[in-house]
Amino acid sequence: MSISPIRGAYPNTRMRRLRAQDFSRRLVRENQLSVNDLILPLFVIEGRGETQQVASMPGVERLTVDLLAEKAKELVKLGIPAVALFPVVDPAHKSEDARAAYDKDGLAQRAVRAMKDAAPELGVITDVALDPFTSHGQDGLMDGNGYIVNDDTVEVLVQQALSHAEAGADVVAPSDMMDGRIGAIRNALEKDGHVNTMIMSYAAKYASAYYGPFRDAVGSAGNLKGGSKASYQMDPSNGDEALHECALDLAEGADMIMVKPGMPYLDVVTRVKTDLQVPTFAYQVSGEYAMHCAAFDNGWLAREAVILESLLSFKRAGADGVLTYFAEEAARLLQT
């Protein structure tokens, strides 16, 4: 960016003048964080009236469907516009072909129905990916050589997305990074009459080391056993490639774009928003959350101030909204 000589030299220009008082700082503030920017990820488990703590994510709980419905009502009162739902699947229901992913009475599908019944105005975003349902923990179907096959996986993802839409999901969010899955899902949604079901594409999802606590939370880490997802998730070294991925998914029918992880990839968020000018979201992932919480617990960082500052950084980078485990806490802080 080149700065043209609009302002005069010091002392005609004193940049600190506008910072001297609270009212003037507020008047010239370039970016604002509000509750409308927040999406809360939620983990759902089988059972009734039960919660489970996620050890690697302090303060985050897995909830049964009935408690999730009550949580939905609380989030509406806070003004949070949407949640992102992730099922924790019993190992007995995992398989090589991930057939439980599109069970119409599956855990995710029942959770969607319960939340929409309890709080119809709350947006429900569902994860379209097979890693919670595969016995090997990968996001797709695996061939005999251990390679994740693309087109056969897409066929299963389409069935999964349709089952979510039929359950009442407002947004399906493919996070698998298979080629061509957005177009296939969009065509299937249109054919089945789900013309207003939105697609939030995890178009720039990196093969990141920041996902560990999430994999613990959904129970896929043990199945993955250290396996790599580098054959389908993006190389952290690449930025230009992200723009191509996003543009392709938009052409196929995506309504919104997701960049994941968040803070380590804010440069990608900025490039996507600037170049494509479409609704752009980012995920402050489990590893980011865990790092912050560790610093808070050790007294190294001020919890409330850092939560809001970290979320504001997404807005400054150009994100229209943020998936964050701090969403509920941040919503309360923004009300004070």
Distances from the Cα of 232 to the Cαs of 118, 128, 148, in angstroms? 37, 15, 8
Q: Which amino acid is at 230?
A: A
pLDDT confidence of 218, banded at 50, 70, 90? confident
Query: So what's the pLDDT on residue 151?
Result: 98
Candidate from 91-100, 111-120, 225-234 with smallest mean pLDDT: 225-234
pLDDT confidence of 217, banded at 50, 70, 90? confident
| Residue 132, preceding peptide bond in cis (omega within 30° of 0) | no
What integer is the mean pLDDT of 272-286? 98
pLDDT confidence of 328, banded at 50, 70, 90? very high
Q: Is 209 exposed, middle or buried (0-12, 13-18, 19+ CB in 10 A)?
A: exposed
pLDDT confidence of 298, banded at 50, 70, 90? very high
Q: Is 17 exposed, middle or buried (0-12, 13-18, 19+ CB in 10 A)?
A: exposed
Query: So what's the pLDDT on residue 193?
Result: 98
Q: Which amino acid is at 33?
A: L
Kindly tell me if the per-residue pLDDT of 60 is higher than 80: yes
pTM value?
0.95
Strand 321-324 relative to strand 280-284: parallel, antiparallel, unpaired? parallel
Q: Which amino acid is at 76?
A: V
Query: So what's the pLDDT on residue 5?
Result: 66
pLDDT digits (tens, 9 = 90+) for 226-236: 679 999 999 99
Kindly tell me if the per-residue pLDDT of 1 is higher than 60: no
pLDDT digits (tens, 9 = 90+) for 260-272: 999 999 999 999 9
Sequence-distant (≥ 6) Cβ neighbours of residue 314 within 8 angstroms: 37, 262, 263, 266, 269, 282, 284, 322
Distance CA 149, CA 232 (A): 10
pLDDT digits (tens, 9 = 90+) for 134-180: 999 999 999 999 999 999 999 999 999 999 999 999 999 999 999 99
Given CA atoms 242, 243, 247, 253 in this order, what sign does their dihedral have? positive
Q: H or E element: which one contains 282?
A: strand 280-284
pLDDT confidence of 216, banded at 50, 70, 90? confident
Q: Which residues are part of the catalytic machinery?
A: 205, 260
Query: So what's the pLDDT on residue 7?
Result: 86
Name the percent of the chain lying above pLDDT 70: 97
Scan for tokens 């488990």, then name that residue: 45
Name the percent of the chain lying above pLDDT 90: 92
What integer is the mean pLDDT of 294-302? 98
pLDDT digits (tens, 9 = 90+) for 167-177: 999 999 999 99
Kindly tell me if the per-residue pLDDT of 205 is higher than 60: yes
How many C-beta atoms lie closer than 10 Å to residue 228's C-beta?
11
Kindly tell me if the per-residue pLDDT of 317 is higher than 90: yes
What integer is the mean pLDDT of 53-60? 95
Distance CA 75, CA 53 (A): 19
What integer is the mean pLDDT of 116-131? 98
Kindly tell me if the per-residue pLDDT of 2 is higher than 80: no
Determine the length of the chain: 336
What integer is the mean pLDDT of 82-102? 96
- For residues 284, 288, 293 and 296, what is the CA-based torsion angle, rounded to 10 degrees? -100
